[in-house]
Structure 1
Amino acid sequence: MNSGGSRERVLGRVRRALADVPHDDPPYERAVARDYAREHGRRTVAETVELLAENLAEYRAIVHRCADGELPGLLARLLASHGSRSVVVPPGLPAEWLGAVDATRVHDVAASTPQELDRVDSVVTGCAVAVAETGTIVLDGSSGQGRRRITLVPDHHICVVRVPDQVVSAVSQALGRLDPTRPSTWISGPSATSDIELDRVEGVHGPRTLEVVLVGR
């Protein structure tokens, strides 16, 4: 297939469809009404966090809670209970988070191959934002989160969410916090798929185990 010719055919159809649009027609960002609900119902901060925890668990993520000062000890216990001898550390992850961890640190570098990452037991990251109504954590590759592949290849992912600063009610609110120029990964529970008989298999397209730590002040 001639890709150049296909492109011109598609653009030609677009031009014909737009031929009768007035030159003074309002631009898209003004033409589309933005008066829809930004969240479903009214909740307090505490209720929003509770909803996040409930929906994370509904998606089979394992939810933990702790105070800020308890985080290093909790991460050490979670990695030890999983039998993790190695852990991927993304750039910018606070050093104190893994201060009590005995596992070997594997730094997130561009040269790492999928095979090398597959041999790592766990990965610990922060997140960009968490959505209560959908039980979703969002990563955008910024400080403390690393490259997308480090959260897709290792079999065990621990994600730290700061409460309530990083928690929002709805997807529309999450989008308002994200930089549209950065790649984002939206995670609702551990990776899973089902065959035609609806037999669920976890760990096919990402971590088999997702643990989310809600850290309060």
Structure 2
Amino acid sequence: MSAREEILERLRGALKDAPAVPEVPRTYRTAVDAPEAERIRVLVDRLEDYKAGVTVVEESGVGPRIAELLDGAASYVVPAGIEEAWLADADAARPGRRRTDSRTEPLTVTELDGTSAVVTGSAVSVAETGTIILDGSEGMGRRAISLIPDHHVCVVRASDITMILPEALRRLDGTRPLTWISGPSATSDIELERVEGVHGPRTLDVLIVRS
């Protein structure tokens, strides 16, 4: 018997007389019926509290706003499958800065570290907690591209905003690599001194697109 098998056997023996886990009552809220304007208002409030930049735009305003946010970027990376219309103005203003990351041709960590910004879409957002979730699918890409560049520009569609977490979880595939973002990267040391840019982008700009 291997050491692993021995440990598992001991665990089975210890749990043999344990009672079955009772059904856990789930009486918490699972949905909140809120209009789009209210979901946007709450999400904006939470994101701004986290020191993220937030702009609410119509679909036609996404491209011009992204171009403004990327004006000072020497280069930026986008995931395969991102909407080209979002990038047309930025590419027209200063061509040759865009890098595309895909599963077949991923950028190296060194290349990402030398990239000024990243532009992604998002899967779903939670207004109440100010959380944006990426699931690694088309338009969002690998987790690394949203964590290594210093500036993250994230597009959130209003139709993908839920008011509370249980609503968001129902929209997600739990087997995918989920990245949960609640404001720019920050942490506090033992003296509660806030330090930004520790484990992700130092600057987060969110574009919320009205339906």
Identify whether the pair has TM-score above 0.5, normalized to the shorter chain: yes
Q: Distance in 2 between matches of 1:64 and 1:9?
A: 58
1:34 to partner: Cα distance:
2.9
Aligned length: 204
- What is the TM-score when the length of structure 2 is the normalising length? 0.88
Partner of residue 108 from structure 2, selected from 113, 121, 127:
113
Q: Distance in 2 between matches of 1:35 and 1:68?
A: 38
Q: Does 1:20 align with 2:12?
A: no
- What is the TM-score when the length of structure 1 is the normalising length? 0.86
Partner of residue 100 from structure 1, selected from 82, 89, 92:
89
Q: Distance in 2 between matches of 1:46 and 1:60?
A: 21
Q: Distance in 1 between matches of 2:5 and 2:51?
A: 47
**Aligned counterpart, 1:62:** 53
1:171 to partner: Cα distance:
1.3
Q: Does 1:122 align with 2:114?
A: no
1:196 to partner: Cα distance:
1.6
Given the superposition, is the C-alpha separation of residues 123 and 34 from structure 1 closer, same or farther in structure 2, using an over 3 Å criterion?
A: same
Q: Distance in 1 between matches of 2:26 and 2:190?
A: 39
Aligned-pair identity in percent equals 50
Q: Distance in 2 between matches of 1:31 and 1:8?
A: 30
Q: How does 1:1-217 map to 2 (within 5 A)?
A: 5=3, 7-8=4-5, 10-20=7-17, 31-38=23-30, 43-80=34-71, 83-101=72-90, 102=94, 104-109=97-102, 110-163=105-158, 165-217=159-211
Gaps of 5+ in 1: none
Q: Distance in 2 between matches of 1:84 and 1:10?
A: 54
User: What letter is aligned with 1:37?
Assistant: R
User: What letter is aligned with 1:94?
Assistant: E
User: What letter is aligned with 2:184?
Assistant: P
CA RMSD of aligned residues (A): 2.1
Gaps of 5+ in 2: none
Q: Distance in 2 between matches of 1:151 and 1:95?
A: 18
Comparing 102-111 and 153-162, the one that deviates more = 102-111
SS of 1:100's partner is: helix
